[in-house]
Structure 1
Amino acid sequence: MNTKPLLHTILSPGLLNLYDVNNSIVVIIDVFRATSTITTALFNGAAKIIPVANVDDCKAIGAQLNAITAGERDGKIIEGLQHGNSPAEYPRSFIDGKTMVLTTTNGTKLLHMALENGAAEVVTGSFPNLSAVCDFLANTNKHVILGCSAWKNRFNLEDTLFAGAVINRIKDNFTIHCDSSMMAEDMYNLHKDHMYNFIRKTTHWHRLSKFGLEKDLEYCVTPDVANVLPIYKDGALTVS
């Protein structure tokens, strides 16, 4: 009997230790905004992106490599870093051929947790690269964990919406006995036709729109505007 690989959705980094990450592909999802920024920068020609968990490492590695340093905490650019976590900051005219060192509140933290827990492969996903993520996962024969970065370990809507969008497309390729995955897909199906309105209800919208980032957030739920697959290898994210 040909058994399909398993797919699970974790709704928060705080739940990662409940799952067997070994030999699984982990998709890091941080829609607002880390994984949207990562795919946009790579789509626009960035050579590589080095995700780091803390600010001091970001500064040190940036200086060592003469790289762009970027990051945020609580939605704001970190003092001492050159750039923030907005996809709009990384057009081709600026980022093409450059290396970026990035630290964020939630996404880069979960990425390092997945690696420490023995993930077979780590990729990053958001609506701007939805099709690239789905095509990759549909053609693998490994277990998959859709990892929502959430907000400081608390559930958020937008990352779960993206997990639901992925499941909606690739569920026939996997065995899914996972209530969080079922919930994610149901939520996506309920709101997929009015995403721009729905995201205005999220806590992240209220948090980030105060900084004038409404266009950023709409971009982050627009499918396939930066359709490449960032994959983690040898300490950096590059285009698969």
Structure 2
Amino acid sequence: MNKPTLYTILSPRLLDLYDLENAVVVIIDVFRATSTIATALFNGAQLVYPVAEVQDCIEKGKALNAITAGERDGKVIEGLQYGNSPAEYPASFIKGKILVLTTTNGTKLLHLALKQGASTVITGSFPNLSAVCNYLIAQNKNVILGCSGWKDRFNIEDTLFAGAVIHRIKSHFTIHCDSSLMAEDMHKLHQTDRIQFIRETTHWHRLQAYGLEKDLEYCVTEDGANIVPVYHPEDKALHPESW
């Protein structure tokens, strides 16, 4: 029996080169959208609505009496209530509530994947690494690991997460993909010094300037929020699933 395939996309600009219709697409935005989504749902948020534009976020928040949150270039957006920090969504605050979120990179890639016909969309980051791996093995479908990058440019942290996933699940998939090989090699080289390595990245320096160092360390720490956010097209929201 043929194994399903796995490919890694290093930038949203490359997405249209791949067939998403029969694949699980994993949206990866380690700093910080997909880390925040997993954390909010793990801590009891009912749903997370990922939206691409700020005005959509504001309008949906009003319609649903929901929390509106988001960032552009790492900063909280004027007109929204909260930012894109996982630390803003402890259970004491978010449990039972709905979150509407817009971000620079991650929510944009999610909507691109939907427009391109992705059959299943989930989100992944180090805080839900094990749950994502368990989910992908169980689905037994083709996988696209989609790195959000930074404004369509390659970044290290998303690629590192893709490599961590590949390292765990590669025996279940056929992988003939140089970007996947590179991602796994990067993970193997830095799995014991990940935080120190991440400190060299441009995104770390960009966000550290806003005092977000504890956020960033959390975002590259494994399994603090082990649920899988799964996109449901009928209500256009991410729902938590336990894996």
Q: Normalised by the shorter chain, which TM-score bucket?
A: over 0.9
Structure 1 residue runs of 4 or more that deviate by more than 6 Å after TM superposition: none
Could you say which residue in structure 2 is the equivalent of 1:239? 240
Counterpart Cα distance in 2 of 1:80 and 1:117: 30
Could you say which residue in structure 2 is the equivalent of 1:203? 202
Could you say which residue in structure 2 is the equivalent of 1:70? 69
SS of aligned partner of 2:199: helix
Counterpart Cα distance in 2 of 1:73 and 1:164: 27
1:141 maps to a residue whose letter is N
TM-superposed deviation, 1:137: 0.5
TM-score w.r.t. length of structure 1: 0.99
- Equivalences, count: 239
Counterpart Cα distance in 1 of 2:184 and 2:29: 17
Alignment of 1:1-240 (within 5 A): 2-233=1-232, 234=234, 235-240=236-241
TM-superposed deviation, 1:195: 1.0
SS of aligned partner of 1:49: strand
Stretches of structure 2 that go unaligned for 5 or more consecutive residues are none
TM-score w.r.t. length of structure 2: 0.98
Superposed CA deviations along residues 184-232 of structure 1, whole A, max 9, x for unmatched, are 0000000010111011001000100000000000000000000000000
Superposed CA deviations along residues 52-106 of structure 1, whole A, max 9, x for unmatched, are 0000000000001110000000000000000000000000000000001000000
Stretches of structure 1 that go unaligned for 5 or more consecutive residues are none
Query: What is the aligned-residue RMSD (CA, Å)?
Result: 0.5
SS of aligned partner of 2:132: helix
SS of aligned partner of 2:70: strand
Counterpart Cα distance in 2 of 1:194 and 1:134: 21
TM-superposed deviation, 1:33: 0.1
Counterpart Cα distance in 2 of 1:100 and 1:225: 19
Counterpart Cα distance in 2 of 1:95 and 1:112: 24
Superposed CA deviations along residues 22-48 of structure 1, whole A, max 9, x for unmatched, are 111000000000000000000000000
1:131 maps to a residue whose letter is S
